Structure 1
Amino acid sequence: MAPTLERITLARDTVLKLVKERIVKVNEEVEKDDTDKDDLELTFTLLETTIKEYQELSYKVLEKCDPANYEKERKDVDAVSQNWIAVVQKMEKMRQNTSPSPPGSLYGTEDDRSVSSGSSGKKRSFKLPKIELKKFSGGLMEWLGWWSQFRKIDEDEDLHTSDKFQYLLQCMVVGSRARDVVEGYPMTDENYPKTIKALQQRFGKHRLLKQIYVRELLKLVISNTKSKEKVQLSKLYDKLESHLRALETLNVTTEQTAEFVFPMVESSLPEDIFVAWQRSPLYGQDGSQLDPPRTELFFLMKFLRKEVESENQRKLVRAGFESDSAKDKRKDKSSHNNNRKEECATAASMFSASSQGCVFCDRSGHASADCFKAQVMTLKDKNEKIRAKKCCYLCFRSGHLSRNCKVAVKCIVCSKKHAAVMCPELDKKKMEFVPRERESPENSAAMTNFQCSGNVLLQTLKIRCYTDDGSKNRVVRLVFDNGSQGSCVRRDTTETLGLRALEEVWSQKVLFGGALAAKQKHRKFRLRLSNMSKTMYHELVVLDEPEICEDSSPGKFCNWSAE
């Protein structure tokens, strides 16, 4: 026989009375300073059981009650639930305030994790920061740190193999050798252990890693020996400590490494530190009688650690007791040096005007004093240009008058205080010089058989230019230009040989007199060249040009060619 509504309501009211009593008791215990935590936890557990029973009975009452009383019954249930939630929040807050920090940890978490307390044996909840998976690019010196972290995922029995494979792929740097190894296996459960084994064989072999760290120690010794600058002891100690700890991780004990590592570490020390090491009481100490036995390498690293600590202490003392007057003195000295630099009159200060553009031709890339256009202008035109742009007549810069200019300028023509391009003597010499026209050509008897064509003799050489695969070649003429800073190839030559361009670049040519040509896009090629007899080969990186010179035909033989 099913219970009636009256019996269910009676049971519900009895349980509700217990719930209210225990809520009041829990609230009173939480408010106390000297509360008994064990009794409080017991009362809270009983309250949790009672509230579940109350909720079950309340839902049965709601199913059988009249529609007129449903709203009232529902509000009563919500009120009790609200009081229960408030009690739960108070208990959680009290637990967080009274729980100790996890041993050896300074962090606390996004996810609630159970950490066992050594003194009480109870599990506490802490909030620790989210750990980001370390990326592996295939560097051998990165393997130990990366594998130490990823091993937790690999050995997790609760994690599915397909998820492990996905985490492994995310840990690989895109485009690296390690990524290529992982992507070489289809992402199936059967291939995951094969992929891990392939990574270990490729990057995690202990024999290879030992050689890497020993070579790093040797490289450190060589670099310190060849370096002309003073080696910073703290950096040296950190590198030595890092490499030695890595060898210990690879099961290379201090006793095994002491015989060959100790001389290497000792050789890497600066001379003053080595002298201090020889004077130290730890030098030459026999540690074989100690328990546990100690090696010379142990005593040397102990000495270096003390030296680093002492150096840091000295820096702290000097920084703490340095007088303000010394700081002000250094500041004044720095300010004085800056003022001297500003007042320094050099050719560089005149050339700085080129960044603002030339006064005479409005182009950048050359100083106003070196402008080719100004050399053919009259002094009157140059003065008008300077006056129109409100620039100084001495340094050609704006912002000050000539009488206030601090740039020391001396003309190389008349030795007066102005730039050579503004010298009035140049205009006088131009007026005195009148070109004389030749009335009739003069031909000597020796030149009757040859009239000079006016061509320029170039330094040229015949060579062979090869295709990318070296199967074909073409004979071309090489022109030497001693004033050029780059090499070029004619565009039709690259098209005939079918050469593949390395990349496209923009370039801008500086012409004679400092003028700049417009920017042009060029393709870069790597040419393989040889002499005509194919006994010498050379590679050259060049840019393509539509045309290099108009005519590069061989020179004509005449009397001087036989000299």
Structure 2
Amino acid sequence: MESFNLQFRSNAKKLQEAINSFEELHAQASTSPRLLKAEIEVIERVFSDMMEIKKKILDELLATGCSEDEFHQANCEGDQLAKLVYICRAEFEEFNCQANQPIFERPLDSKQLRLPTIEWIKFDGDIKKWLGFWGQFRKVHEDKTMSNEDKFHYLLQATVPNSKARRLVESIPITTDGYEKAISLLKERFARDDWLIEVYFRELLSSVMKHVVNRSSQNVPLPLSNLYDEVSAQLHALEALNIKMDQYALLLYPLIESALPNDVIKAWERKRENQNSDPTDVLGELMTFIKAEVNSDERISRSRQPLTNTEDQDVATASTFVSGHHNPAAQPSYHPKAQSEAFEVKKTAAEVTCIFCTKGHASHDCQKAQNWSMEEKKKAVKSKNCCLVCLKAHRDHETQDSRT
């Protein structure tokens, strides 16, 4: 037993010296990857010998019937050195890797693009973040060439300090079996399928009901793109949990439909009447239709952007292309009528006010007025002394032709 302890302390001292040598080389600006590789191989060999001796010490303690405290103390010996070894491995991989490939395995091309290092999606114990975290960490978990001790180190790095997830991982000693136990406990606490399904269904219903309540309260309607993005995110999460859309389509379809604006519902009903819809995929067809409406709104929004730039800029004129140079001091001349029209365009864009809700948008774009009857709209237009055709005030007309 004493001989094992002596060998363990000797290897621990040798390992500390190898780690110090590696850190000195790593800190140098121009360090050869081959030297670092040689140092890391020495560290790996000494660390492996030390862990073999530690296993013999633990087996001897179990055979002699030691107390629980004695066994725990012996089991924790060398954990700090083990963490330093894992840090050295990570530093070597970071130094020696580019685009997830070791430098000695990829062609030496000086023109290769140096990609930024991928940052971990760190898990803090929030069950809604588990799918994103596990989607990234699964690559490490399923790597057959990496030891469980290395995976344990990466698992520690991938959790938020002082969080529920980090405390759970730190409660387990860094051993080969400890990694598997840590993953098992994380999945048991944060990745139960029934809990995840319940969480995402709640988020889905909450998103839909928020839009339903907003419509019924006669507030300014939320953008249709918000509804589509929020619902799609939860549907994708449920799909990742192998929950098919047809399992909840009949329940969710009327809720999503009730959250749509009136004009969108009318367009959806017309579309359903003009083509034979599959009753088993009605929710999928509705989401496809909403996506098309969102894309259409985006195109309309871009087409209505003003063509004039209100900022003062140094604009090049035709003389620039004739003379080959641009004189910033030269002011271009404009036709008086063109100047007047440009001024009116800027003035109209700056002073636009909706006659229905007095907000800063064009009257024909008012979402609130879309839910009014035709008589209510006419009454509102006449009360503001505006034109029933163009919805502008009569004083803004240049002629009497557009009055009604």
TM-score bucket of the superposed structures, by smaller chain: 0.3 to 0.5
Q: TM-score, normalised by structure 1?
A: 0.35
> Which has the bigger relative contact order, CA under 8 A and spacing at least 6?
2
Select the structure that is richer in strand.
1
Give 1 or 2 for the bigger CA radius of gyration.
1
Q: Normalization by structure 2: what TM-score?
A: 0.48
Please identify which structure carries the higher helix content: 2
